Amino acid sequence: MTEPISSIRNLGPAYEAACAKAGIHTAEELRTLGADQTYARLLRTGMKPHFIGYYVLVMGLQGRPWNDCKGAEKTALRARFDALKADNPASTDSEFERLMNVIGVREA
């Protein structure tokens, strides 16, 4: 039997819908991918990066409340989040800018 993504602590219907858009349909798939690969896929589908959304996912996969992340752990997660954003340039450009890059229009 498969579990829905919303069965993971902290993740509700909106996160489930975002995951479905990224081709992730079950809690098992999400757990197998892990937080970083899942979040990278979400960014590639056009989800706007948001640090809280990332650490909610990390905490949920650990079975912890979303607001349990503090101090050095939160600082380390911020570094991982920033690296994920940097590795997914589409997450920092607007859709218009991304399309202009695709057709070869660049800033002077």
Please count the residues of the chain: 108
The residue type found at 68 is D
For residue 108, the model assigns a pLDDT of 45
22: pLDDT strictly greater than 90? yes
Segment 80-105, tens digit of pLDDT:
999 999 988 765 555 555 565 566 65
Question: Are 20 and 64 contacting, i.e. CB atoms less than 8 angstroms apart?
Answer: no
Question: Which tokens belong to 55?
Answer: 């650490």
Fold of 5-103: DNA polymerase; domain 1 (1.10.150)
pLDDT at 12 over 60: yes
Residue 2 predicted with pLDDT over 50: yes
Indicate the average pLDDT of the chain: 88
Q: What are the structural domain ranges in the chain?
A: 5-103
